[in-house]
Chains A and B, each alone.
Chain A
C-alpha cells in the first residue's frame, strides 16, 4: 500500500493534476475569503467553508479521474495486479493519496482563519469542526470519484461521469424540498452528503455524521474493489 501511495503522491506533483487542484481550490477560496471576511468585515469562516464545499464538488474529478482509468489504459494495472499485494491495498493507497492532496490543500487554506485571528476574534472551535467536516465531505467525494475511475479506461469519461455524479449529489439536495411526502423528505434530507456537513459548520461534532461519512467512504471503496476484481473474473 505504501508503494502505491508514494507513487501516486509523486504522480500528483510530477504531472500538473495536484497543482491544478490546489490552485483552483485556493484561488476560489481566497476570493470567497476576501469577499466575505475581509471586505465584509466578518469573522465567520464557515460561510467560506460552505462555499468551498461546492467548489469541491466541481474539482474533485481532477483528483480522481486518473487514479484507476489511467492504469488500465497504460496497462500498468498488469504490474499492480500481478504484484504480491492485495487489491484492497492498491485501492487504499490510491484513495489515501488523493485524500492527502486534499488535506495538504485545506491545511494551506488554514491561512484564512490565521489572518482573521490577526484582525479579529474568530471562534476557533467552529473553524476546526468546520474543517473536519470538509475533510470528511471531501473524502466521500473522492471515494465516489475513485469508484467511477474504476469503471472506464478513459480519464475524460471518468472526469465527465464524476462531474455528473457530483452534480447529481448537488441536485438531490435541491430537489428534496419539492418532495410531497414529509417522511420521505426528512429521510432523504438526512441521507445527503451536504446535510451531514451542516452540523460541523455549526461547531458541533456529530457522531452520526462521522459514522455516515466513514460508511459512505467504505461503501464506495468496497464497490471499487469489487469492480477491479470483477474484471479479472469476466466472462464476456
Chain B
C-alpha cells in the first residue's frame, strides 16, 4: 500500500506555461485584459489576432520583458516576477524585431547569446553549431549581422533564441517582412523546432497558424475570445457543410434548382467566373448535399461543371469571433 501512495502523485503533467488572469493597462487603456491560458509541454500554440490586439504585449509579459499590471505568469513552475532567473532560463524569445547587434559577426552574436544564458564554456561551441544547423545559417557565420538580408537576420534571431536549449520558444511574428521563399523556410524551421520545443507563435496571418500550430488562441482587443485545438475550433464554427456548385444556367434558374433541394438550408449566388455559368454556395446542416445537387441538376437537365466542398477555414472562425466581439463591445 505504502508503495502506492508514496511518492505522492506529482502535479498534473504540469502545463509548462500558465498565464493567470493577466492584465496590462496603459492609462485607462487595456492592452491585455484578464487573459488566462496555459500551454502544455510539447504543444505548438498559435497566438492569433489583428495588429494591436495585444499579442506582443502578452508575449512581452510572459518573457518578463515588461510586467503585467495584474495577474501572474509561471514558466515551468517558476513565477516570472518572483523567480525571474529560473523562469527566463526556460524561455527563448524572438521578438518582432530580432534583437541583433549589428557590429558582431553571427558567431560572436550566438556566443554572446550562450554566455547570457550561462551555457557552460565547454558546450558553447556545440550549442552554436546546433543552433546554426537548425536554422541553416552555417554559411554566414563569419559575416557581420548588420550586413545580412532580412531573412537571414530573422534566422540569426531565431538561432539566438535557441541558445541555451530553452524548453519554450516564444516567437513574435517570425515571418513578418520576409519574402515568400524565406517565409516557407522559417516556417519549416519552426515546424522542425516544434518537435523538440514547446512553441508559442504569434501571427496575424491565418493560414500560417493553421499550417504550423495545433492549438490556437485568438485574441481581440486585449481579450482572449477563443482557445482550443484547431480541429475543435473548426468544428465548433463549422458544423455546417458548405459546397460550391458551378452550373451552366441562368442565375435565377440555378437558384430555383438549388432551393428546391430539401437538404439545402441556405443558397447564395457567388458570381459568374466562366461565361455562361453561375457559382453558388450551398449550406446544409445534415449530411453531404453533393449527391442531391448532382441528381437535381441531372433531372433538370442543367449541366453541373464543378462541385467542391468548402471546408470552414480558420479565417471564417477568426472573422466570426472577432466580429462577434465587436458587437458585444458596441
Contact = CB atoms under 8 A, between A and B. Distances in A.
How big is chain A's contact interface, by range? Answer: 20 to 34
A211 interface: no
Interface in B39-73: 60, 63-67, 69
Interface stretch (A82-90, A122-130, A159-167): A82-90
Given A3-B115, A15-B103, A82 B65 contact: yes
Contacts of A83: 88, 116-117
Contact of B89 (A4, A15, A79, A84): A84
B100 A10 contact: no
B117 A84 contact: yes
Contact of A85 (B60, B85, B95, B97): B85
Interface string B66-109: 11010000000000000011101101010101011111100010
Nearest to B85: A84
A80 B63 CA distance: 11
B99 A78 contact: yes
B180 interface: no
Contacts, number: 76
B102 A234 contact: no
B160 interface: yes
A15 B104 CA distance: 10
A236 B65 contact: no
A81 interface: yes
Contact of A236 (B27, B100, B104): B27
A15 B102 CA distance: 11
B112 A86 contact: no
Interface hub of A79, A80, A235 (most chain B Cβ within 10 A): A79
B67 A233 contact: yes
A125 B110 CA distance: 46
A80 B103 contact: no
B27 A79 contact: no
Contacts of A74: 99-102
Given A233-B67, A236-B26, A80 B97 contact: no
Contacts of B116: 3-4, 79-80, 83-85
A6 B111 CA distance: 11
A14 to B, nearest CB: 5
Contacts of A11: 101, 103
Nearest to A83: B116
A86 B69 CA distance: 21
A83 B213 CA distance: 26
A44 to B, nearest CB: 42
Contacts of B102: 74
B272 interface: no
A75 B95 contact: yes
A10 B108 contact: yes
A7 interface: yes
Interface of A: 2-4, 6-7, 10-11, 14-15, 74-86, 232-236
11 contacts: A7-B101, A78-B99, A79-B116, A81-B65, A82-B63, A82-B65, A82-B93, A232-B65, A234-B26, A235-B25, A236-B26
